[in-house]
């Protein structure tokens, strides 16, 4: 493997010196009321979610795990493919303000080549905070910096952990995980275990909710028929709006969730 100096000699980005004192860019982040935004209607609880929980409740044989189930349901969904390309080498300390400023200026230059006005940058947590400081100091309105997807998910899991603190979620997880691991799972730092634990919690509470619905005996036959067809011809995410059986199972589940909401936020919160 060639050394960093050898790689840098091939092609590297010119360094842009940065000597400005840091500014607390995080304080300039503006939070808006998302309820005021006009958004496309999305159901609170997708029919495919409730169908999976109903199938788990009736103990359907050969039902795949949650991730495999969703992968099958979303198979062949249309999407646009993005290109991922290696950029020129910046032969400097990655965490220095000069390196981050150089990456910003290089990205702005590349953006202009394609006729775009806004430059979008993605960093992990530590570099994201420093990048926000630079943007705040230099007032770069055409540069938008976002937190990387993984760190965004970790923060999201940590937010759920704060909301669900003291709800009994920790006690539930102690049935399957070591007590020493649960603090990190609630914070979202033990990512793999946390995701697995949330899926198990989602499924367990979903089964309890299904069992509390009065029409459960009627739904068992509907689910058995749906899943029998699904084995050979799986329904897709887009079918949930047109299939009457899917909509019926979803409506019953959602109605029960609204009733349980009166008992407090912890039950519904954990399902999210």
Instruction: Give the whole-number percent of the chain exceeding pLDDT 70.
Output: 84
Q: Hey, which of 8-12, 39-43, 159-163 has the most confident mean pLDDT?
A: 159-163
pLDDT confidence of residue 4? 64
**In the chain, where the domains are located:** 7-32+84-148, 47-75+151-271
185 pLDDT more than 90: yes
Mean pLDDT of the chain: 82
Give 68's pLDDT tier (boundaries 50, 70, 90).
confident
90 pLDDT more than 70: yes
Q: Hey, which of 4-18, 67-81, 184-198, 207-221 has the most confident mean pLDDT?
A: 184-198
CA distances to 23, 138, 177, 259 from 270, in Å: 38, 42, 17, 15
For residues 70-98, average pLDDT: 75
pLDDT confidence of residue 100? 92
* Range of lowest pLDDT (18-22, 93-97, 237-241): 237-241
pLDDT confidence of residue 160? 92
255 pLDDT more than 70: yes
Instruction: Give the whole-number percent of the chain exceeding pLDDT 90.
Output: 20
148 pLDDT more than 80: yes
């Amino acid at each position: 493997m060639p050394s960093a100096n050898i790689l840098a000699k091939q092609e590297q980005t010119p360094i842009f010196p940065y000597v400005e004192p840091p500014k607390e860019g995080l304080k300039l982040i503006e939070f808006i009321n998302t309820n005021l935004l006009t958004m496309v209607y999305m159901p609170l609880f997708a029919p495919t979610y409730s169908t999976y929980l109903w199938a788990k409740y009736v103990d359907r044989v050969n039902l795949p795990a949650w991730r495999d189930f969703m992968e099958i349901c979303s198979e062949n969904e249309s999407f646009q493919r993005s290109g991922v390309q290696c950029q020129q080498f910046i032969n400097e300390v990655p965490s220095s303000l000069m390196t981050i400023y150089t990456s910003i200026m290089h990205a702005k230059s590349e953006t202009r080549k394609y006729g775009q006005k806004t430059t979008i940058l993605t960093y992990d947590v530590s570099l994201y905070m420093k990048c926000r400081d630079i943007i705040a100091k230099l007032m770069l309105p055409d540069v938008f910096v976002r937190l990387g997807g993984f760190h965004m998910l970790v923060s999201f899991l940590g937010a759920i952990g704060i909301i669900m603190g003291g709800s009994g979620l920790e006690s539930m997880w102690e049935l399957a995980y070591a007590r020493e691991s649960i603090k990190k799972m609630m914070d979202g730092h033990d990512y793999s275990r946390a995701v697995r634990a949330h899926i198990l919690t989602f499924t367990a509470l979903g089964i309890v909710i299904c069992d509390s619905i009065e029409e459960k005996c009627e739904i068992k036959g509907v689910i058995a028929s749906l899943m029998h067809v699904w084995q050979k011809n799986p329904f897709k995410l887009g079918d949930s709006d047109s299939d009457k059986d899917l909509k019926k199972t979803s409506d019953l589940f959602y109605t029960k969730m609204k009733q349980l909401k009166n008992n407090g936020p912890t039950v519904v919160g954990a399902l999210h």
